[in-house]
Structure formats: C-alpha cells, structure tokens
Structure 1
C-alpha cells in the first residue's frame, strides 16, 4: 500500500509582493524556482496531486509574486512558488524590485530549508538557473534540480542530458546539488521529488 502523499492537501495561502507580506518567519519552507515555461507550475501540481494548485500558463512570466501554499494539517510548513523570468517581458523596474526582494528573501529567511530549481531538460543550466543555485550556495542551503519534460526526449537522450548536467553541477557546486529527470505528464520522477521535499520539511 502506497504511503499517503503529505502534499495532497496543499492549499493556496497568500501571495507576497514585498517582505512585509511574508508569513511569520518561524516555520519550514521549500522554494521552487524556474525560468518561464520550464514547467514549475506543472511540477508543483504533480507533487501535490492537484490539477490546478499552481496556475499553469502558456504566457511566460505570469508568476509575479512569491506564492505560498500551506500544507495542512502541518502548521507553518510551506511550498513557495518564486517568480519565473527568463525570456518573459517584464518592465525593468519590476525586475529590479524582484532582484532586491529575492536577495532579501534568500539572504535572511530563516524558514527556508531547501531550493528546487526547475529546468527544461532540453535547455538546462541557463543564467537564471545558475543565479538561483548561487543563492542556495551562499546560504549553504540544499538544492535539487529537476529536469522537466523528460517525456519530450528519448530515454537515451534524456539520460545523456542527466549525466552531463550532473557532471557540471558536481564541478561547480562540489556535489551539494542533486539532480533528477522529471515529467509532469508521465509522472516520471514525482516520487523522488516528493521524497526530497518531504525530507527538507520534516514531513
């Protein structure tokens, strides 16, 4: 019999556009970051076995705030959806606001227990991805990379990309970043991701 999914009751809590709107900094939270259209919302939905927990949009850059999802019955344990940019057309002043907000969030948020970086398996390790991993490394936070849309490649091509990314991460971050293949469509890798995030949140 399969173990119950600790994320199945996840629910939207709030969206924060500035530091004052964040929940009290006393719990456990795991942040999810990814470039526009990397599949971050689909990964969150698959993790929680919900179809519409996180908005899936074909318009890049729709996530404009830090979106917090609570995990009942656990108090003060959250999944956090970070704004995804990349090639999204975002005004420069908004980019600057988010840069400052994320700097502060990663620099001082005690509740943060880990970072999941979502990358399209066909376009891994772009500048935004490296920036997010850099945030985690500066805080000595564990980071986990999921290479999404693995169903879009043959098994051999996906495996080759996984090995190449694993080698580069090992060189750049000294084995402090783990990586896996993932597909929200086929559910490949969902259990592995769930195990990593549940461990960070002590669920």
Structure 2
C-alpha cells in the first residue's frame, strides 16, 4: 500500500471538549515539550513540509490539532492529533491550567485514542512532562512510543548511548509498555520505523 500518511490534511483545532470530532475514529496523539521537534516529526512522517507548523517560537500549538489521513473506503476515520507543546513558561498560567484539564479529560475519556507518541530531544530526554504524558497512556492501557528526535545532532555512538539509557529508564518506570527509537526529521532517520508503529495502531 502507498504511504497513507501523505493523505494527511488539516481537519480542525479544538480548544475545548465540545470542539472535538465525534468519538468514533482511530486517533494517535503526538505530545512533546516545546521545541522538541514534534512538528518536524509529523511533517516527516506525512512527507509534507508544512502540515504541522514549525516554529522557532515555543508554545505555538495552543489547541488539539486534528489531521485527517483516512484512506478512501475505510471506516472509521483515521486521525493524527497534535497536542499543545508543553513546558513553555511564557504561556499564561490560566491557559496552562486549561490545557492540562483539557488534555487530562481527553486521555481519560477519549475512546478513539489508540496510542501516544512522545517526542523528546535526544539531548534532553525524559523531563517531568514526558514522564507524565507516558503515564497517561500507561494508565489507560494504551501503547506509547518515544521518538528521540534531532538524532542527527549526535554521533552514532552518542545516539546508541542515549537510546540505551532512555530504554532502561522507561523499562524501569513502565515495564515493556513503552517503545523507543532514535529519529531525525532532518535526515529522515527512523521515519519508516515510526510510521510503521503509528500505522499499526491505526490499523493501516
């Protein structure tokens, strides 16, 4: 089958629960700290340069952004969901609280959610929020996959060391429920591997 991700197109942005699409689709959510490379990862997976906005300014994604990648004659719909970038101090506190409550409800109640990808800069992995997001998935019994992005910034030996260290820490915290890989949207390293994981969760 041709890469179904190239079909991805912007569907809607939801700032509260009422704006979410009907809860009958298959969805995979992408989370990550501000400037971890989440937009670049989504663009690389979908072979599009501007699907998800890439910004030098952290905290640009301020809603749940849904991308529809449903192949023809397949039901229910298949969505990729870009979660708000987190960990950016300049966002007003009340807005941070709103995001937190909204995402918490989304993870606890969203039946369509089939898996979570957490994007982390390979040079600064497993911050508190990364663990929190992975914890959401594990609590729900959902599969989770960690992308160690910007791997092109490190040599192969350093990449291997970072991957082993993160894999060990994830296993100690969550058992074998969270997988991890190195990734680079710039060099396309690991793109096929990540795409296969997400496609499997979406049943594609």
| TMscore range, shorter length | over 0.9
Matched with 1:180 is 181
Q: Does residue 110 of structure 1 match 2:108?
A: no
3-state SS, counterpart of residue 90 of structure 1: coil
1:60–1:88 CA contact under 8 A, matched in 2: no
Matched with 2:153 is 152
Gapped regions of structure 1 (runs ≥ 5):
none
Matched with 2:198 is 197
Matched with 2:65 is 67
Q: Does residue 39 of structure 1 match 2:37?
A: yes
Deviation >2 Å, runs of 4+: 72-75
Residues 142-174 of structure 1: per-residue CA shift (max 9 Å, x gap):
000000000000110011000000000011101
Q: Does residue 22 of structure 1 match 2:20?
A: yes
- Superposed displacement of residue 199, structure 1: 0.2
- Superposed displacement of residue 72, structure 1: 3.3
RMSD: 0.9
3-state SS, counterpart of residue 7 of structure 1: helix
Size of the aligned set, in residue pairs, is 201
Q: C-alpha separation between the residues in 2 aligned to 1:185 and 1:110?
A: 33
Matched with 2:165 is 164
3-state SS, counterpart of residue 28 of structure 2: strand
Q: C-alpha separation between the residues in 2 aligned to 1:25 and 1:97?
A: 21
3-state SS, counterpart of residue 63 of structure 1: coil
3-state SS, counterpart of residue 8 of structure 1: helix
2:70–2:77 CA contact under 8 A, matched in 1: no
TM-score by length of 1: 0.97
TM-score by length of 2: 0.97
1:61–1:88 CA contact under 8 A, matched in 2: no
Q: C-alpha separation between the residues in 1 aligned to 2:85 and 2:107?
A: 15
Q: C-alpha separation between the residues in 1 aligned to 2:171 and 2:70?
A: 36
